Every structure is written in C-alpha cells, then in structure tokens.
Amino acid sequence: MPTNIRWGIVGLGKIADTFAKDLALVSEADLVAVASRSLEKAQAFKNTHNSTFAFGSYEELFTCKEVDVVYVATPHSHHAQLAIQAMEHGKHVLCEKPMGVNREETSRMLNVAREKQVFFMEALWSRFMPAIVRAKELIDSGTLGDIRYLHADFAFYALDRDQKGRILNPELAGGSLLDIGIYPIFLSYLILGKPDKIQSTSKFHATGAEIETSMIFQYANAQALLYSGFSCTSEMKAMVCGTKGTIYIHPRWHEAQELTLQIGEETESMLLPKTGKGYVHEIHEVHKCLNNGKLQSALWSHQNSLDLIETLDLVRLQNGIRFPFE
Ligand SMILES: NC(=O)c1ccc[n+]([C@@H]2O[C@H](COP(=O)([O-])OP(=O)(O)OC[C@H]3O[C@@H](n4cnc5c(N)ncnc54)[C@H](OP(=O)(O)O)[C@@H]3O)[C@@H](O)[C@H]2O)c1
C-alpha cells in the first residue's frame, strides 16, 4: 500500500489557505510543514490547517526531512528563486502559476528540475478540472470538426487593491497578464497550440502595472480572441467553435463545472463537478506522477510551461510590459 505524500507549503497568503483546505480533502496527502517569513503567521496557519511543523523561514522547510513535495505559493516574482532552492534540497515542487515570470527564469527552473531529478509542475489547476479535461477530449476526438474560433477572457475589478500588493505592484510582477491573462492564453494554447501571430494592446496603472490586455491570436485556420483585465468584472464564459459545433465552457470557465455542447440545432448540457475548490485535481495529478516515478505531468508538461511563458513573453514584448527587477 503506498504511503501518504508529505506536503510543505511556503508563502502563507490567500492561495495557500485555499490550497491547504483542498489538501485536507485528499486522504493520501499529509500537510507536514508550513513556512512563512513570520513564525507567528506560520504557527497560526499550522493550527488552522493541522500541520505538524511551522517554520519562520522558507529555508527551514526546504531542509525538513519530513517533506516530500513543496507547494510554492508566493508572488510570481519569488517563484523561481524559491522553487530552485527547494529542488536543490531534493524536494519535488508544485509551483504556482506562472512558473517563472519569463522564459529565462522558467528554463533555469526546468534545468534544475532535470539536474536534481525531482518532480516539477506549474500549478495550472484548470488543466486538471474535469470540465476542461472533458472539453479537450471532445475537441481532440473531432466532435466540433475543425476549430476556427475561440473566445476566452478573465477579468475582475481590482483597481481598488493595495498598490503595494502583488496585483498592482510591478516589483512583485503585478499586472493582469501574468496573474489572470495566463488562463485565456492557456486555453488557446491547449486547444490550438502556439499562435503563428499575435496582435495585442495593453493599458497601464499609475503604479506602472499592466491592467488590461486584449489579444488576437492568429493560427493557420483559426483565430482566438482573448482578454484579461482588472478594470471590470466579465462573465467569463469561454467558447470553442468548430466547423461542426461549439462548446460553451460555463462561467467561470477556468474552474467550470458545466459544458454545453451544441451540434447544429441539438444542445447537450454536461455537469462535471469539481472536488473542493478545484485544487484537489492538480493534487491528484502530483500524487499520480510521484507514485509512478514520473518527473513531470503528461497533462501539463515542462514543454507546456515553456510554450506558455514564451507566448506571454511575446505579448509583454509587444506592449512594453517589463518588471523593474528584469
Ligand atoms: N491557482 C490559482 O487559482 C491561484 C489563485 C490565486 C493566486 N495564485 C497564484 O499564487 C501566488 C500567490 O498569490 P496569493 O493571492 O496567495 O498572494 P498573497 O495573498 O499576496 O500571498 C503571497 C504570500 O507570499 C509570501 N511572500 C513572500 N515574499 C513576499 C513578498 N516580497 N511580498 C509579499 N508576499 C510575499 C507571503 O507569505 P508569508 O508572509 O507567509 O511569507 C504572502 O502571504 C501567485 O503567484 C498567484 O499567481 C493562484
């Protein structure tokens, strides 16, 4: 019988809290250690989420022998440094999205994963959501015919956020594109691959952070219309349209639990519930890979993360989106 997988979490902010609640739903997972820059905060998190250890520095968690896999949940600007540190200590790593802030960081991280022979995955949770998995299967099996048009967006109002927080602060790689624009770009990449040509335009906040980006991805026989933004809240229904039919991925599409398939006049609704908040599915994928001795996921591979960040880099280059530390 396989033994439980022992998790550690570094960076105890909002997503760490949500993730820890989902981790508790997975009986084969134990939350062993949590680490914050503040010991007091780590102890409070440990008590809330029943962890064994609480550390007042990330380094202590990386050297903790009881931890098998580290979940990196810090702002994007700190993913590379911390994931690399964890892997250099021989830990497997699940790193929040985006894996690195640019291609250079991402490929450095992937090199360390290869050198150290540890499991490494970007926490692109939508890829493992039952509704997205089903949509991809239907599209790949030709149900929609040839895909010609895709529409996906991700927008919520965030202009009232703390200007020093990770959303609006360029020092923390703030901006809509890397935070939420990554999802529509992910969907277009998942269904159509890397685009041949990109047209895009961005708007910026007084802090210098990018707050809105509209994108058209051109493919040989298809176009994708994508948007991310912090200026307003959008419906977040995605659609993928082919020569034979269309799939609507219900709001909010990146965590969808329902699809509608339309072929001609016929429509079919499919309920595909997620477990917990939805992070359970990526946790299962990590466990499956670790239990099978795999160092990367076949559903969201190292190459997928590299392709995604290269596409994000191109949009950034077109619009002059640069971070002060780059
Ligand atoms: N998959 C998803 O659905 C999803 C959703 C939201 C966010 N995310 C990703 O998760 C990451 C964290 O997002 P979040 O919303 O949880 O952010 P957050 O609430 O700001 O928390 C980030 C945590 O990182 C740590 N940290 C380390 N260095 C920091 C620094 N210089 N400034 C601020 N915090 C620092 C802090 O923890 P300590 O004080 O404990 O050290 C902080 O609480 C982002 O990369 C984001 O893309 C993913």
Helices (H) and strands (E) in the chain, counts: 10, 14
Determine the pLDDT at residue 9: 99
Query: DSSP secondary structure string, 260-294?
Result: EEEETTEEEEEE-PPSTTTTHHHHHHHHHHHHTT-
Q: Which of 74, 277, 281 to mutate to test the pocket of ligand 1 (most atoms within 8 A of CB)?
A: 74
pLDDT single digits (tens) 146-194: 999 999 999 999 999 999 999 999 999 999 999 999 999 999 999 999 9
Question: How far is C-alpha 227 from the geometric centre of its chain's CA atoms?
Answer: 16
The arithmetic mean of pLDDT across residues 29-52, rounded, is: 98
Backbone dihedral region of 247: left (phi > 0), alpha (psi from -120 to 50 degrees) or beta? beta
Ordered structural domains, the chain, with CATH: 5-123 (3.40.50.720), 126-274 (3.30.360.10)
Q: Which of 79, 166, 183 to mutate to test the pocket of ligand 1 (most atoms within 8 A of CB)?
A: 166
Tokens 């906040």: give the residue: 205
Question: Whole-angstrom Cα distance, residue 283 to residue 85?
Answer: 21
- The answer to whether residue 115 scores a pLDDT higher than 90 is yes
b/e burial code for range 103-113 (CB count within 10 A of at least 16 → b): bebbbebbebb
Q: How far is the CA of 226 from the centre of ligand 1 (A)?
A: 25
Determine the pLDDT at residue 132: 98
**Per-residue confidence band for 247, with pLDDT thresholds at 50, 70 and 90:** very high
Mean pLDDT (the chain, rounded): 98
Residue nearest to atom 30 of ligand 1 (CA): 75
- The answer to whether residue 2 scores a pLDDT higher than 80 is no
Q: How far is the CA of 245 from the centre of ligand 1 (A)?
A: 39
Q: How far is the CA of 180 from the centre of ligand 1 (A)?
A: 14
- Ligand 1 atom nearest 42 alpha carbon: 40
The arithmetic mean of pLDDT across residues 38-59, rounded, is: 98
Q: How far is the CA of 196 from the centre of ligand 1 (A)?
A: 33
The arithmetic mean of pLDDT across residues 4-20, rounded, is: 98
Residues 6+ apart with CB under 8 A from 103: 306, 309, 310, 313
Q: How far is the CA of 74 from the centre of ligand 1 (A)?
A: 4
- Ligand 1 atom nearest 178 alpha carbon: 47
pLDDT single digits (tens) 75-87: 999 999 999 999 9
Residue nearest to atom 7 of ligand 1 (CA): 15
Query: Which residue, 279, 315, 163, 209, is CA-closest to 287?
Result: 279
Ligand 1 binding pocket, CB closer than 6 Å: 11-16, 36-38, 41, 73-76, 78, 96-97, 123, 125, 166, 172, 179
- The answer to whether residue 3 scores a pLDDT higher than 90 is no
Could you tell me what percent of the chain has a pLDDT over 70? 99
Residue nearest to atom 28 of ligand 1 (CA): 74
- The answer to whether residue 1 scores a pLDDT higher than 60 is no
Q: Which of 96, 101, 254, 286 to mutate to test the pocket of ligand 1 (most atoms within 8 A of CB)?
A: 96
Q: How far is the CA of 11 from the centre of ligand 1 (A)?
A: 6
Residues 6+ apart with CB under 8 A from 112: 83, 84, 87, 88
- Ligand 1 atom nearest 165 alpha carbon: 20
Question: Whole-angstrom Cα distance, residue 79 to residue 138?
Answer: 34
Question: How far is C-alpha 200 from the geometric centre of its chain's CA atoms?
Answer: 21
pLDDT single digits (tens) 100-113: 999 999 999 999 99
Q: How many residues are listed for the chain in this entry?
A: 326
